[in-house]
């Protein structure tokens, strides 16, 4: 099921390219591990393009 959800975003190489492109444009990306492993995700931003609203969102999420 997990792979079916990811298929809409392309193959693994395309997903990495899209993530790098998003980071270069100042967007955040969610990186997840395998559902058979820890099944968790991390929200990433490039620090050189991080804006105040993104930092505030991360602060709210991380202080819960």
Each residue's pLDDT, cut to its tens digit, for the chain (64 residues) gives 556 778 888 999 999 999 999 999 999 999 988 878 888 888 899 999 899 999 999 899 887 6
Contact call for residues 21 and 46 (beta carbons, < 8 A)? no
30 beta partners:
43
Structure confidence at residue 24 (pLDDT): 95
Structure confidence at residue 39 (pLDDT): 82
- Segments forming the whole domain that contains residue 39: 2-62
The count of domains in the chain is: 1
Structure confidence at residue 64 (pLDDT): 63
Look up the pTM and report it: 0.75
| Residues contacting 2, CB < 8 A, separation 6+ | 34, 35
Strand runs labelled E in 7-59: 29-32, 41-44
Structure confidence at residue 3 (pLDDT): 63
CA distances from residue 60 to 28, 32, 54 in whole angstroms, order as listed: 15, 20, 10
């Amino acid at each position: 099921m997990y792979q079916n959800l990811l298929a809409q975003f392309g193959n693994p190489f395309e997903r990495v390219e899209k993530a790098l492109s998003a980071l270069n444009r100042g967007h955040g990306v969610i990186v997840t591990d395998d559902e058979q492993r820890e099944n968790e995700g991390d929200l990433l931003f490039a620090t050189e393009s991080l804006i105040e609203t993104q930092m505030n969102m991360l602060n709210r999420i991380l202080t819960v």
